Amino acid sequence: MKFTLSWLKAHLDTEAQVDQVAEAMTMAGLEVEEVHDPIAALAPFTVARIVSAERHPNADRLQVCQVETVDGMKEIVCGAPNARAGLTTIYAPIGAYVPGLGVTLIEKPVRGVVSNGMLCSGAELELADDSDGILELSDDLQVGAPAAGVFGAEPVIDFEVTPNRPDWLGVAGIARDLAAAGLGKLTTPEITPV
């Protein structure tokens, strides 16, 4: 079973961090298999804005974009059909590991023009199956804002439920045991009538 920390906090009033919750779950007898932290995976990625997008001099399907990033203006070669001036998107700097591609970015020429990073699609960040183009974000977002904050990413705790504990098949049961272990105070979420 998987749940997020915010889901747990709807049932448990606690200031505990995800590692403290995982430790308390283990002490209560739950087998925590993994704590997946997308915030760490998205750490190098930030919001950027394309200032200009010109056709690549040596390729019909590529564009050379001048991009305002957290690190200043960068020249980035982009093959996305939706790359255009004024678009707010996600920027990956040199050295960032792109999970959807399984590569770490290096500075290199693309058909004679050096690309200083990458503009990312949802598939490249493993946020979506769609890869028709780079992500199109709200113009209200500030350049340099962390991508994890934009997408509301939060850690996910994955654990194995033993057959003798059906009360652990729901977040309310886990919250009850964690409250009994002293990790916080049990709360009752408000339920809206249908």
List the CATH number of the domain containing 121: 2.40.50.140
Q: In this structure, are 54 and 147 located in the same domain?
A: yes
Mean predicted lDDT score pLDDT of the chain: 89
Question: Count of domains in the chain?
Answer: 2
Number of Cβ within a 10 Å radius of residue 93: 18
CB 116 within 8 A of CB 144: no
Contacts of 167 by beta carbon, 8 Å cutoff, 6+ apart: 173, 176, 177
Q: What is the pLDDT of residues 60-106, one digit of tens each?
A: 889 999 999 999 999 999 999 999 999 999 999 999 999 888 999 99
Q: Answer yes or no: do 95 and 161 share one domain.
A: no
Residues 13 and 80 in one domain: no
Range of the domain at 51: 42-151
CA distances from 149 to 41, 85, 118, 154, 178 (A): 12, 24, 19, 9, 27
| In a shared domain, residues 21 and 70 | no
Both 147 and 159 in a single domain? Answer: no
Regarding whether 180 and 89 lie in a shared domain, the answer is no
Q: Does the reported pTM lie above 0.85? A: no
